Structure 1
Amino acid sequence: MSSEQPEDSTPRTEAEEGVDPEADHPDVADLGYERARDELAEVVRRLEAGGLSLEESLALWERGEALAAVCERRLAGARERVDRALASVEQRENSEQE
C-alpha cells in the first residue's frame, strides 16, 4: 500500500492556479468593495437560477472570479489599514506608559 496521498481532484479557481481573473475583466478593477460584492451576488444568483447556455455560464463564472478577486483585495487592504491603526494606537499607549 502506498503512503502517498491521492491527488486532490477538487477544481481549482483561477486565483489558486495563479491566473489573474481581473486581467480579462479590467472594468472590475476599480470597483469599490460594496459594488463588486453586490455584482458578485447577482452573478451567483443568475448562475444558481440556471437556464443559461454553457458559454453564458462560463462568462458569468469568469466575471464572478474577477469580482471575488476585487472583493478579496479590498478586504485585505482594509485589514491592513485596521492593523496599522491598531499598531499605531498600541505604540502611542506604550510611549505614554514610559
Structure 2
Amino acid sequence: MSESSNGSTELGYEEARDQLVAVVRELEAGGLSLEQSLALWEKGETLAKLCERHLDGARERIEAALASVEEDAEEDAQ
C-alpha cells in the first residue's frame, strides 16, 4: 500500500484489482439485500476509480520515459 497525498493509506493497483474482482463475483452470485448490493456497488466504483488512477499514472510514466528516449535519440543524431 502507498500513502496518498492526504496522508491516508491507499491500496496498490493489484490489491485494488483483486478486491474489485471479489466485489464483482459477490454481486454476480446474488442473494444480497438491496442495501448490501448498493454498498458493494459503491465499493466497486471506488475500487474501479482507484485502478483507473493507477493505470493513468503508469501511462504517464511510460509516455514520459518514451519522450525522454526520443529526446536522447534526437540529441545523439545531431
Structure 1 distance, partners of 2:26, 2:43, is 12
Higher relative contact order (CA 8 A, sep 6+): 1
- Name which one, 1 or 2, has greater alpha-carbon Rg: 1
Are residues 1:60 and 2:14 paired?
no
| 1:1-98 pair list within 5 angstroms | 30-98=10-78
Structure 1 distance, partners of 2:57, 2:68, is 17
Query: Structure 1: which 4+ aligned runs deviate by more than 4 Å?
Result: none
Which structure's residues are more often helix, by fraction? 2
Q: Under a length normalisation based on structure 1, what TM-score does the superposition of the two structures give? A: 0.71
3-state SS of paired residue (1:83): helix
Gaps of 5+ in 2: 1-7
Whichever residue aligns with residue 27 of structure 2, its letter is L
Which structure's residues are more often strand, by fraction? 2
Q: CA deviation at 1:78?
A: 0.2
Q: Under a length normalisation based on structure 2, what TM-score does the superposition of the two structures give? A: 0.88
Structure 1 distance, partners of 2:73, 2:55, is 27
Aligned Cα RMSD in Å? 1.2
Structure 1 distance, partners of 2:10, 2:42, is 17
* Residue-pair matches, total: 71
Whichever residue aligns with residue 61 of structure 1, its letter is W
Gaps of 5+ in 1: 1-26
Q: CA deviation at 1:81?
A: 0.1
